[in-house]
Amino acid sequence: MNGSSNTTDASTTPTTTTTPAWMPYVEEASKNGSPSTLTSKLCTNCTCDADTGTFDCTMKEIGPNTYSPEAWQSLNGTGFVAKRLLLVSAGLKHVTSFPPMNVTLLDLSHNEIVTIAPSCFYNLTELEILDLSHNLLTTEALTPEIFEGHYSPTTYKPLEKLRVLRLGANQLHSLNADLFENMPALQELSLELNTFKVIDHQSEVAIAGIAGLVSLDLSYMELEAIPKYLLHTPRGLRYLNLTGNLLTEIPEALIYAVGLQWLSLDENPIPSIVLGNEFPPLKNLTYLSLSYMTELKMIGRGAFRGLESLEEIHITNNPHLSYLHGQAFVRNDTDNPDRYDWPPVKRFYMHNNNISYLDAQLLVQWDSMEVVDIRVNPWACDCSNRWLLLTLLPIIERTTPAILNNIECSSPKQMAGQSMIDLEHKHFHMRCPDAAGNNPSNDGALLMGLLIGVLIAIPFTAAIWCVYRRGCFGLFGRSSPAAYSRAFYSRTTLNEEF
């Protein structure tokens, strides 16, 4: 009895179950009469793409705070595996901690974020890309604790997979020296549109300490100089954007960027690039842009001689650039100093400057280039640029005929506005001004005009002489009818009258 009673009691003991904390954030949903399934309410307000694992809340007003951990867990609880979280322009001001998720990309850009909770991302162990750009983060608010990974007295795990961090367009003026200590895999850092003005010592320590840095964006930060040793440690740096700063010379710090492949100095007030302010030896640099530089007037001898691998260069939209030295690219061969070498440039963009002459020896492999763009420059159509018509324009016409327009003569005056490609088609022979500054191309017209003048002057002079001598039967006189009748009358002599 007792044993039976015990068995009965055990079988009838109720089993207690705990309701998951995320259950209030789910709802039942069905489609076309199919059995209902649980769906996260987050997917009702935002978009959940199961195929790509994308949770997209772009332009959805979700309030000042990110969703609670329980709300995020409702995604996993309903079978949606989020890999990409897009919370762009969602009205966020504060970012709270995320629960364990398999997220690789987290985009929090274009919000009004002022604070981020400490250890906010430590559960996102798969996170590779974090975008915090276009927010209101200050130097004081952006602390190293935000990026802490899992930590215990015996185990320390930082954000091991974070490769890309975008901090552009915030309110940063400096960086905590230890800001990136929890990001050992960081390769790409963007700080553009933060008005640093000066990269102070602690910011230099922070950036220089990123050993694996590959891409660095320092554009539009109002920088007047780059610290000399900023690029000393990240030896693998390949991309550097210095566009839109206040640099007046080629940064000396570039000498340490030995692995650099891509460089932009657009929109900097550098007045000239000459010996003493030339580019240092950057043997791996293949792309260089020097455009929209309103103060640039001169590129002198040897300016690019250290760029022996250069393949694409943009020197465009520089309104005062009027001088490009014919030996700007050439260098002495390292093995044979008596020989000259040029970089293997394939794409040469030089449109919309103030350049009148282009040296044929500036680059010697013109016939093997993919793009040569020399539009919208005030070209001088004389013998110094004769090679443009004979050699360069046919190459441009063969490779990129779409950019033949707007290559026009600006001087001499009688040729201003003429299309150079039309002159090339007509096999026009450009000549140089003589010692007096006159253009011999007009000599033929002048001689022809002189000859015509002489031919006209001869009969005209004879006619005047004829009138003067009245030897043309009075044709040009103003005689009366009586005088006309007497023209055929011969007066008799006195003897004949008798």
d(CA 1, CA 363): 107
Q: What is the pLDDT of residues 346-356, one digit of tens each?
A: 999 999 999 99
Q: What is the pLDDT of residues 230-274, one digit of tens each?
A: 999 999 999 999 999 999 999 999 999 999 999 999 999 999 999
- Considering only 16-25, 119-128, 132-141, 265-274, which range has the smallest mean pLDDT? 16-25
What secondary structure letter does DSSP report for 153?
S
Q: What is the pLDDT of residues 446-486, one digit of tens each?
A: 556 566 666 676 776 666 656 656 555 454 444 444 444 44
Q: Is 424 helix (H, G, I), strand (E, B) or coil?
A: helix
User: Which residues in 205-214 are b (16+ Cβ under 10 Å) and which e?
Assistant: bbbbbbeebb
Q: Rounded to the nearest 10 degrees, how much is the dihedral formed by the CA atoms of 399, 401, 403, 408?
A: 110
The predicted model gives 319-324 an average pLDDT of 98
Q: Are 324 and 299 in contact (CB under 8 A)?
A: yes
337: its two tokens: 């100093």
d(CA 123, CA 100): 5
The predicted model gives 268-294 an average pLDDT of 97
Closest to 214 (Cα-Cα) out of 254, 189, 187: 187
User: Which pLDDT value is given to residue 427?
Assistant: 74
* Residue 126 clears pLDDT 80, i.e. is over it: yes
* Residue 488 clears pLDDT 80, i.e. is over it: no
pTM, to two decimals: 0.82
Judged on CB neighbours under 10 Å (0-12, 13-18, 19+), 413 is exposed
The strand pair at 26-29 and 37-40 is best described as: antiparallel
* Residue 489 banded pLDDT, cuts 50, 70, 90: very low
Q: Are 295 and 272 in contact (CB under 8 A)?
A: no
Q: What share of the chain is helix, strand, coil (3-state, %, to 5)?
A: 25, 15, 60
Q: What is the pLDDT of residues 53-103, one digit of tens each?
A: 999 999 999 999 999 999 999 998 888 999 999 999 999 999 999 999 999
